[in-house]
Amino acid sequence: MSVARGLVFITGASSGIGQALARRYAQDGWRLALVGRRAAELTAWAEAQGWPGERWRVYGADVAQVDAIVAAGQACLAQQGVPDVVIASAGISIGVDTAVRGDLQVMARIFATNNLGLAASFQPFIAPMRRRGSGTYVAEPAESRILFQYFRLVPDSDEASFPDSRVLHWSREKADETDRVSLALPHGSDVWRIARVRDLGGVPVIAETISLSAMRWSPRRRCSTRSRSMPPMRQAGWWRSMLR
């Protein structure tokens, strides 16, 4: 956070990492330009935070739609000015099988979101930042591992889609034997237990229990009630999950 009280433009701010970043930047005094597909839901969430209205704006856009995300950036320039930081947080991770014809369309969607969407998120700000002589772009490359490593879910329509997740509750508990083995924890360790449901097209299809190592996961960090996934933590061995 090198620029005090600057402006940060965040895509994927409706949930997950993007929403957590928005909250943290707001706590540090930054002005926010928040981008998400679910603009009404994002606006309601921002209003619930109690932030002064002049400190934030919401721009509805899907990063997979180049014209939409570029328009959101241009609207930010017109309404709030040139950001100091642009964070491309929106992204998807879906397992594909190139032997399946329908999965080629899924690959196209992933590319449109994670590659073209990334470039389109930055494009409106490149020239203004160059003229000003400063600016920071932040992006995280797509995870090399797919979210669903051992199974694939496809509805009757045969169109693969990435699920939305709803956290039902979470609590701190003693690690059981499976936790200790999976997370390499010593006896007596605690875990954060998170229960969530995954929806495909608004229909609940998966009940999941996640165990997070309390040694590696700070209790000060909040668990969002809506998120897409936690692949960075899983890849780091911070959590295990049980699906039903």
pLDDT, tens digit, 9 for 90 and up, residues 124-140: 999 999 999 999 988 86
Q: Domain limits at 70?
A: 7-139
pLDDT of res. 2: 40
Query: Is 1 contained in some domain?
Result: no
Q: What is the CATH number of the domain that holds 239?
A: 3.40.1410.10
> What average pLDDT does range 146-170 have in this prediction?
62
CATH code at position 89: 3.40.50.720
Question: What is the Cα Rg of the chain in Å?
Answer: 19
Mean pLDDT of the chain: 79
CB–CB of 189/225 below 8 Å? no
188 and 115 both lie in a single domain: no
- Does any domain span residue 57? yes
- Percent of the chain's residues with pLDDT above 70: 74
116 lies in the same domain as 193 = no
Specify the pLDDT at position 198. Answer: 81
Task: Say what the pTM is.
Answer: 0.58
Give the dihedral sign, CA 68/90/120/116: negative
Question: What whole-number distance in Å separates Cα of residue 29 and Cα of residue 13?
Answer: 17
Q: What is the pLDDT of residue 78?
A: 96
Of 80, 106, 139, the last residue of a domain is 139
Together in a domain, 36 and 100: yes
Would the CA dihedral through 75, 140, 23, 226 be positive or negative? positive
- Give the Cα separation of 189 and 169 in Å (integer): 20
4 has a pLDDT exceeding 90: no
The two tokens of residue 163 are 């699920």
Answer yes or no: is 124 within a domain. yes
Question: What total number of domains does the chain contain?
Answer: 2
Range name among 30-34, 213-217, 221-225 with the lowest pLDDT average: 221-225
Residue with tokens 């597909």: 37
pLDDT in tens, 25-80: 999 999 999 999 889 999 999 999 999 999 999 999 988 889 999 999 999 999 99
pLDDT tens digits, one per residue of 102-131: 777 777 777 777 778 888 999 999 999 999
In this structure, are 122 and 17 located in the same domain?
yes
Is residue 144 included in any domain, yes or no? no
